[in-house]
């Protein structure tokens, strides 16, 4: 499942490039806010006010909500001067309510394990150096510049060990979710079906509404398919077929019959 990301960028937050450049973080850091008295909104207000001291690009809480506090293409102040130049930070607000925690945790795992690694091309590697995903505690131990030990103790309150977090992030990383980038827009959704015929010798089709999701074997000239919908994916038209797969709508390759 995909989560919504609410953009509430902190006015005035600095926009400084990562060590490798704008849009090139190498590490995603898992945090938790460490404050039993605060609330999700309280944490957002705090970082919005105190961004000169500390802020992260994302915070999760409030029962599965994700708020983007700053443009993730630039570094934030989340884990001290040693690691900040190459790290992207995700905070998790505390709750005492298990149901709220479970929703928060699902959003946290999706954001850290699935969305951000795909967005920034970060391979799956956990608490094992650059590039990859680490805990704030790992940053303190490995690169220094910080004393924090989160998020271990807070997650443990709900029975989530760091080993479990790693397993959940890994499963999210490998999940076959819908494409993270711009989803397909339906431009024509009348359910009238029609048929098309392949007019080139060999043509790839797709397992998802995504030009990268090529099926392993192409189809052949004169093969006929039933179209159930027409989509625009990254600016080019694609037909959704009755079988649940997708094919180009380009008239150089297929013809409506």
What are the residue ranges of helices labelled H in the chain? 40-49, 80-83, 98-109, 116-120, 136-142, 152-157, 162-173
Asked if 158 contacts 105 with a C-beta cutoff of 8 angstroms, the reply is: yes
Site membership for Zn ion, residue 150 (CB under 5 A): yes
Residue found under tokens 């940053």: 139
Query: Of the two residues 26 and 150, which places its CB atom closer to Zn ion in the complex?
Result: 150
Query: Of the two residues 65 and 136, which places its CB atom closer to Zn ion in the complex?
Result: 136
- The closest alpha carbon to 118, from 32, 201, 205, 177, belongs to 177
Q: How far apart are CA 86 and CA 106, in angstroms?
A: 25
Q: How many residues sit close enough to Zn ion to count as binding (CB under 5 A)? A: 4
Asked if 91 contacts 59 with a C-beta cutoff of 8 angstroms, the reply is: yes
| Shortest distance, position 141 Cβ to Zn ion, whole Å | 13
Query: Of the two residues 80 and 238, which places its CB atom closer to Zn ion in the complex?
Result: 80
| Shortest distance, position 31 Cβ to Zn ion, whole Å | 3
| Shortest distance, position 147 Cβ to Zn ion, whole Å | 10
Site membership for Zn ion, residue 82 (CB under 5 A): no
Site for Zn ion in 102-141 (CB under 5 A): 136
Per DSSP, the chain holds a count of helices (H) and strands (E) of 7, 14
Site for Zn ion in 15-44 (CB under 5 A): 31
Query: Of the two residues 31 and 94, which places its CB atom closer to Zn ion in the complex?
Result: 31
Site membership for Zn ion, residue 148 (CB under 5 A): yes
Q: How far apart are CA 201 and CA 147, in angstroms?
A: 63
Query: Of the two residues 24 and 148, which places its CB atom closer to Zn ion in the complex?
Result: 148
- Please give the residue ranges that form the binding site for Zn ion (CB under 5 A): 31, 136, 148, 150
């Amino acid at each position: 499942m995909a989560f919504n990301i609410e953009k509430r960028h902190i006015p005035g937050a600095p926009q400084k490039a990562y060590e490798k450049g704008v849009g090139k973080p190498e590490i995603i850091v898992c945090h938790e806010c460490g404050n039993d008295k605060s609330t999700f909104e309280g944490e957002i207000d705090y970082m919005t006010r105190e961004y000169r001291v500390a802020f992260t690009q994302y915070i999760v809480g409030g029962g599965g909500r994700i708020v983007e506090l700053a443009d993730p293409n630039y570094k934030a102040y989340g884990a001290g001067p040693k690691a900040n130049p190459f790290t992207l930070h995700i905070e998790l607000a505390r709750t005492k309510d298990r149901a709220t925690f479970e929703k928060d945790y699902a959003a946290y795992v999706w954001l850290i394990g699935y969305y951000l690694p795909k967005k920034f091309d970060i391979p799956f590697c956990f608490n094992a150096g650059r590039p990859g995903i680490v805990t704030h505690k790992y940053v303190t131990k490995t690169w220094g510049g910080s004393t924090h030990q989160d998020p271990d103790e807070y997650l443990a309150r709900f029975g989530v060990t760091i080993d479990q977090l790693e397993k959940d992030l890994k499963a999210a990383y490998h999940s076959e979710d819908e494409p993270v980038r711009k989803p397909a827009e339906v431009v024509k959704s009348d359910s009238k079906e029609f048929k098309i015929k392949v007019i080139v010798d060999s043509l790839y089709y797709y397992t998802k509404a995504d030009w990268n999701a090529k099926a392993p074997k192409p189809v052949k000239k004169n093969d006929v398919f039933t179209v159930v919908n027409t989509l625009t994916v990254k600016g080019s038209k694609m037909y959704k077929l009755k079988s649940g797969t997708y094919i180009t709508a380009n008239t150089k390759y297929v013809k409506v019959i």
